Structure 1
Amino acid sequence: MSEDTEGRCTLEAMASVTAPHWTALLAEVAAVLAWAHRAFPPGPGALDDGAEWDCQLQASDDGGADLPAHFDPADGRLTVPKPPTGGARHTLILTLCGTPAFAAAWAEAWDAAPPPGRRA
């Protein structure tokens, strides 16, 4: 977790997994996004426009081609095409940014360290 001069945080997580681990990875990322939607409605938006949090989700295949990724807050499902069987890997990157209140709530909810210089 990093923090800018205005106290806004950025959290970035990246995982590259093979087919047997893809479903578990999607479930973990979906849990984080579902929490953010529940804890800070109405959902992601530009922090400069007053939103509490925003996110970017990127997925790519073993060859580096972008894959469509979509999270549906209504059912808590994250959909990204599954990697083929075998050794092929898919990479998923989740970037969250938020206000100081979002950062504190995230750290508490996920038992994570607060940004440098900030106490939980």
Structure 2
Amino acid sequence: MHYLTFDLSEDDAGTLTIEALASTPAAQHAAVMAEVRRILEWARARFPDTHGPLDEGMDWDDDLQVQVEDGGWHSVALTLAASARFAEAFREAFPGALGEAD
């Protein structure tokens, strides 16, 4: 990953959230979206039958927000609600993304 930066958090209920963010000029927006697609394609392939609300027993859910800001900058926020097993598999698939050393 070259454009997205990641943050992992946990709420009081134990729900893990992986947030991937990028803000780039328009010329780099396609590359950012390619990184988003890579993550979502991995998630769909690795956890094909457990996409949906975590409170219904699923492993992951997603929310993608894209905004064009003043000056042509594009902001992208991909939020993944994740089970512990999804987060662990994410760490393995994308080493270093969540702050661990590559």
Alignment TM-score, normalising by the size of structure 1: 0.68
Q: Which residue among 10, 18, 23 is the counterpart of 1:3?
A: 10
Amino acid at match of 2:21: M
Pairwise CA distance, 1:62: 1.1
What are the residue-to-residue correspondences of 1:27-106 with 2, within 5 Å? Answer: 27-42=34-49, 44-63=51-70, 87-106=71-90
Residue in 1 aligned with 2:3? none
Higher normalized helix content (fraction of residues): 2
Pairwise CA distance, 1:94: 0.4
Amino acid at match of 1:90: H
Unaligned runs of 5+ in 2: 1-7
The alignment of Structure 1 onto Structure 2 pairs a total of residues equal to 92
Residue in 1 aligned with 2:5? none
Alignment TM-score, normalising by the size of structure 2: 0.79
Residue 51 of structure 1 aligns to a residue whose secondary structure is coil
> More relative contact order in 1 or in 2 (CA 8 Å, sep 6+)?
1
Unaligned runs of 5+ in 1: 64-86, 116-120
| Distance change >3 Å, CA 101–CA 6, structure 1 → 2 | farther
| Distance change >3 Å, CA 93–CA 39, structure 1 → 2 | same
How far apart are the structure 1 equivalents of 2:51 and 2:57?
Answer: 10
C-alpha deviations, 1:39-68, integer Å up to 9, x for none? 1012521000111100100011115xxxxx
The two structures, once aligned, show a CA RMSD in angstroms of: 2.1
